[in-house]
Amino acid sequence: MQLPIKKISSPIVLDGKLDEEAWKDASVATGFYMNYPYDTALAPFQTEARLAFDEHMLYVSFVCYDDDTPDLMQSLRRDFDFDRTDNIGIYLGPYNDRINGFYFQVTPYGVQAEGVISTGGAGDDSYNDTWDNKWYSKVVRSKDKWVAELAIPFKSFRYKSMEEWNITFLRWDRKRNLSSSWIATPIQFIPASFAYSGQLVWSELPPKSKGNVSVIPYVAGGAYRDNETLPASRDTDLQVGFDAKIAVTPALNLDLTVNPDFSQVEVDRQVINLTRFEFQFPERRQFFLENNDLFAGAGFPEARPFFSRRIGIAKDSTGSLTRVPILYGARLSGSINKQWRISALNMHTKEKLSAGLPAQNYSVAAVQRNFWKQSNITFMYVNKESLKVNDRDTLKYFHEDLLKYRVTGNDTVPAFSRYNRVLTADLDMRSANNTWTANFYYSGSFSPMMTGKRMSGGSFIRYTKRKVNFLAGNTFVQKNYNAEAGFVPSRNVYPGVQSYFGGGEYIMFPKTKRLVNMGVGTELSMNVIPGGRVTDKSFSLGYGFNFMNTSELVFYYYQTYQQLTNSFNPVDAEKYIEFKAGEEYTWDGTGVRVSSDQRKLFYYQLEARYGGFYNGSNFNVTGEMNYRYQPYGSVAVRFDYNDLRLAEGYGKEKLLLVGPRIDLTFTDKIFLTTFVQYNNLADNVNLNTRLQWRYKPASDFFVVYTENYLPENMRSKNRALVFKFTYWLNL
């Protein structure tokens, strides 16, 4: 389907009235189709979308027909929770490649959200709302509809000045648990994906870039106290820096950062990790996000050649993640034309003696060639240089871990190398309707003293239809594959591993008013190390129900086998007996997962499982309870409880992680979040409070207070009070 867009001679006033001639003459996208909970009819409450443009702005209007049923809102916070909020959005593919783009959403209360789209919008992880930019909107609510007007500066996003763009619209009517879109989309696919998009046809080409430069300076300062030193140490600092966005072309952008500060980024949610593997926390720092799919999507979860959180974040003396100062950074990213995309990043970190790190430089470059309708191949190069690590006079001032050696298989290698380089080829193929997906990658690493068996690779295929979904794949990570700037969780667990995995589900759509669907699913995996030794096997079988009122219920059975390749204890290797390398364990268990009606003011998500665990048992309950005070905020409590009962001497512990969170949105510009985390495994209570005032579009003032306590007497370990002031300036 096509939607023509016309150029207008005078700006549109954002007042929610749609009385300008431009709107009367604009083509209308309407006749929205249902996608969920059924995909066989038109939406009962229709939507109209119109577009227009001038030299500076892309204008969008929506008329969302409704009744006087109260709208559902989680809060007034920008970048709202999509699943729990009524909203309408435009999803743009301005490169016309059906792979990458941007989205802009607005709620009946006028709250904005925006983000970037990768991999064609085919999966939930294809939408990243951490990207932030400047645009304007106005929403007016009446008894039988709500009207939204959007004005998006062309300077706010990257695009190609071509005759057609990919476009679609998605309306999420959460209060009725209905989703609809302009283009009919089968229920098994996301209706905002570009596989099911139309074409925006321009009467005149979009305006070309005219000196598009934005500078975002900041001033930040703070006061810090560390009570774990004797005597207690105090410190203050004041720093300045800036980001800059320079449009080389409308589709190619140069981002610069000097002395960046990420103190306003929300604290990570802690986890109780009883596995042998490192846990991967998400990237939230905005500088790393736009076009990040070229870097972050390479490889498979078992081996990512590049993980941006390796830059500027390390563990401090308490084992907590701490910021490593970044001196500067530059990134050139975007599309050259419909077939080619590029991205190049260079960042330089300062030395941090307390974390045992010298100054380091990171360079990453990727080039992507698109082909067919939704497929591409990417070549990526990662280079990490640790500076002056061969200088013994410098090295002796750093943490002693720099001088240690760790055992990996039969080899001993430095804790990190003077340099580390990784080359990767990644092939991503998808059928035009998203039914078939296939991925392949091959990667090699290069470091001093690391020769031979230093490759990694994998293959994956998925088949998705209305009632069936199957997937299968395999990966291998050789024992000397060493991506220091990547994420390879098996690196210190297996001396080289082949992994095989698969799964499938069969979904039924019963003719009942209570159920959307129900179905059975299974997953299985196996790990094999050189010599053919099977180290891990897992199997699960479950049956789930998805209800019309948004609640869900799943029952499942699981079985696990492990033959350990390294000695460890999941709780405390110094306090309890370790499970020894070579020992074999098999256990099974059952679980249930339930979530309540997400539209209620009080709702919850709970999961409980009980079964064996190595030579003992574990009862685990995890979940979240949330009360919404619409639309001004919510109170939530997240928790994870483990009653771990291992054999005598191996550990009997009741592990608890609880995290209350208060989220207040006084207006759509002033937000206060207080987050407390108690973790008895880490023996720590963490408090984080963040006040944000968005005094102008994309310009903010933050005040952040954080403190860590000893749980037994609430004695303060350390505390910090920081502020940050940013201002977005278009030149």
What is the pLDDT at residue 290?
Answer: 65
Q: How far apart are the first and last CA of the chain?
A: 38
Q: What is the 3-state secondary structure (H, E, C) of 440-492?
A: EEEEEEEECCECCCCEEEEEEEEEECCCEEEEEEEEEEECCCCCCCCECCCCC
Q: What is the mean pLDDT of residues 548-575?
A: 94
What is the pLDDT at residue 718?
Answer: 92
Separation CA 532–CA 326 (nearest Å): 44
The count of other CB atoms within 10 Å of the CB of residue 280 is: 12
Q: How does pLDDT run across 522-533, given as a tens digit for each residue?
A: 999 999 999 899
What is the pLDDT at residue 186?
Answer: 96
Q: How confident is the model at residue 407 (pLDDT cuts 50, 70, 90)?
A: very low
CA distances 184 to 100, 169, 176, 467, Å, are 20, 11, 19, 18
Q: How does pLDDT run across 70-87, given as a tens digit for each residue?
A: 999 888 988 888 888 999
What is the pLDDT at residue 286?
Answer: 78
Q: What percent of the chain has pLDDT over 90?
A: 69
The domain defined by 215-240+586-731 folds into Porin (2.40.160)
Q: How confident is the model at residue 291 (pLDDT cuts 50, 70, 90)?
A: low
- Identity of the amino acid at 385: E
Q: How does pLDDT run across 592-606, given as a tens digit for each residue?
A: 999 999 999 999 999
What is the pLDDT at residue 321?
Answer: 67
CA distances 680 to 98, 520, 568, 653, 684, Å, are 47, 37, 19, 10, 6
Q: How confident is the model at residue 267 (pLDDT cuts 50, 70, 90)?
A: confident
CA distances 360 to 313, 420, 485, Å, are 12, 11, 11
Q: How confident is the model at residue 404 (pLDDT cuts 50, 70, 90)?
A: very low
Q: What is the mean pLDDT of residues 480-496?
A: 87
What is the pLDDT at residue 397?
Answer: 40
2-202 carries CATH number 3.90.1720.10 = no
Give the residue from 77, 104, 255 showing the smallest Cα distance to 170.
Answer: 104
The count of other CB atoms within 10 Å of the CB of residue 100 is: 28
For 393, the enclosing helix (H) or strand (E) is helix 392-395
Q: How does pLDDT run across 109-159, given as a tens digit for each residue?
A: 999 999 989 889 998 888 988 788 889 999 999 999 999 999 999 988 888
Q: What is the mean pLDDT of residues 368-388?
A: 92
What is the pLDDT at residue 616?
Answer: 96
Q: How does pLDDT run across 674-707, given as a tens digit for each residue?
A: 999 999 988 899 999 999 999 998 899 999 999 9
Q: How confident is the model at residue 379 (pLDDT cuts 50, 70, 90)?
A: very high
* Least reliable range by pLDDT among 188-192, 399-403, 485-489: 399-403
Q: How does pLDDT run across 232-255, given as a tens digit for each residue?
A: 889 999 999 999 989 888 888 899
Q: What is the mean pLDDT of residues 400-421?
A: 50
pLDDT of 409 above 50: no
Q: What is the mean pLDDT of residues 324-337?
A: 91
Domain locations along the chain: 2-202, 215-240+586-731
What is the pLDDT at residue 638?
Answer: 96
Chain-centroid distance, C-alpha 668: 23
pLDDT of 305 above 80: yes
What is the pLDDT at residue 406?
Answer: 34
